[in-house]
Structure 1
Amino acid sequence: MPSTYNISNKPSSEEEYEVQQRLKHNRAVRSKHKTSYERPFMDYQTNKLKENIPFTYSPNGRAELTIDSDMHIDLRTLEQLEHLSKLVIKIRVEFQQDDITSYVSGSGLIVNGRYIITAAHVFNPLTEEDNVLVPYKRIIFTSLSYASDRLFNTDNENVLEAEILIRGIGGIGLQPSEICSEDDDIAILGICRFEQVKHTLVSENKEEFCAPRLSEKDELEPNSQLFLLSYCSTMRRNKDVKFYEECPGYSSYTRENVNSAMHPDHRTVSIGKYVKNEDMYIVHDCPSLRGASGGAIFDTTGRFVGVHTGVRDGDVHYNISGEKRLLPYAMNRALAVYSNRVKRHLEDTIPAWK
């Protein structure tokens, strides 16, 4: 699920009444981005939320993961994840409504140097009153391991621009004002002015690197370990915790516990398992939070398995008070790159994918 926020471009000297009206409008806008939802998971051995692991970097720029011994990750897998981590980016999609800039956060994976694979729903238009659709205005991203909102609000050479090459699967793709379906939830971006900015992304010897990927679903064993590389966003409102009210272990789902476990704004790895296959999707239990949509799922050999999209729409329902709640045993999903439909789509757009 992408993370959505709003900032005003008018000076801070506006009258308090107008400010309050804007805040009300902002809250309404924030709730009207058609998106998916995310699922943190409990660790029933510790009776705590499962924790994502943030990547740290040595003085020479080498990615490092520090893990507990009970996580059972072998050295080769650890090295693969550290190598792949620098290709995972944080995306910010900006929308302009009069003097208000709203934005949605997601994650993505750089492939073949100049392309980004991510989730299509991150770019869904905002819906205003009277069902007026507001398409995105700009897409920016960074490959820094820590990427706060403040970074994107400054003039920083590590914040780069991207453009959508195709969004959705098949034909000419979805237009900016169209809302994607679950079966269309993949987008391919191009990095703007790539030749001028590539030095800030990957070294020359990685320029054409394309992560190895799973080619057949039978290659994925039931209960095999999976890893989600992404950037989660901060859970800012206590009311967002209520979404998980029906989930087992709900008493652990405080805002403080969730933010502590998910390491917001950091590039992290969350560890889970492959649960089952659903047509174009795989079902997994790698913990996630807003902002993780578009993140990359890898297996223990470093093969790219799928594009994380969050829980499916059918796992969200309304309670008797009309509030959205997640069903108790909902799982996260990822659009599988071995699906023939997805595979053809990627091959048509990214030359090195064939």
Structure 2
Amino acid sequence: MPAEDFAPINSEWLEKAGNLWTTPFVDKPSERVIVDPILLSHAATLFKKTPKYFWENPDEAARMVCQACELYDITPVGHYLWADYWGLDYGAEIKIQETSPPAITKYPIKTPEDIDNFEVKSPEELKEGPTFREHFKALDTVLEEYPQMFAPITQLAGPMEVATNWAGIEDVFMWMITEPELIDKLVYKAADHMVNACKVTAEKYGANVMITGSVVASGDLLEREQIKRFSYKPECKAVKDVIKAGAGPGVYYHLCGNHTNSFDMWKNAPMTPFTVVQIGNDGKNVFPAGKLVEHFGDRCTCFGVVDTKLIDRGTPRQVYDQTAEQLQAGKDSPRGFIIGGSCECPTFAPPANVHAMVKAAKDYGKYEKF
């Protein structure tokens, strides 16, 4: 769908939504907490397009996301990204799938010897590579057609996530046990890559929002000391180096999955005034917003979560009630609060469930102290 096929965005809505979104960062009072369901391919379903179409057409994907933001009355920012970024730049092969994001089918690192010989791409090489070529199509579309909804994002996740886009997760986990020094080398190479990628975005747009965090390195898969060694420490180095290089200022820690045994270490991670921390689960339950605010509220903006399984399979009332509970516990966090899904909005989630989150924010998300 070209730009002319979409209705114009309502300027009054956009101004109001922009104020809601930026309140935590600019200390400008607004009405309520903003909702960010992390829309990606779900937006395509609203326009009768497939996830495959979404991932194959980054410019149109960006338009659909921006339009969906107005439809749902949520964070007005255009997104285009997926989990398995950066493999193509290093020789991986990917498969574009009909109903889910692209997935790597062949990895560039196959043996322990490959890790020693593996070289991180320079910013100049990454800039001309396949990942940024598609990523910039989306970002440039937002900048040109929806400039008030533009954020210069670099999608990275953490060093373990980048590492498992270079070598299969089974190999990485096996070497972590049999030859952990190899994985030390790999995750610090991943950290260097993260810095170089952020430099590219910052050079092109004058700023950068670094999406990082810990997805693979969660308590469901790793012990605390493994998370600290292979995820937390190299990630902290990467974030510090990004900030030193002037490739910030945005830092979004997306800690997906269960972080019961490791969430506290992230309290000391490097942060800027434009930092958001989101934690998915505390055991089998969503991470309590009150607990998030207690440990992180004095350092950053807290992103409270609603269970994505509930958004996908629950009733609107269930989604509404959990959103309301999280809002009441977290909305007056000292540096601001956002509410959204614990991860990407499920592709085929009922629109009524996304709407239920927004309705709860309007009913229970009004600022009282912040």
- Normalising by structure 1, we get a TM-score of 0.26
The structure where helix makes up a greater share of residues is 2
Q: Which has the higher contact order (CA 8 A, sep 6+)?
A: 1
The answer to which structure has the higher strand fraction is 1
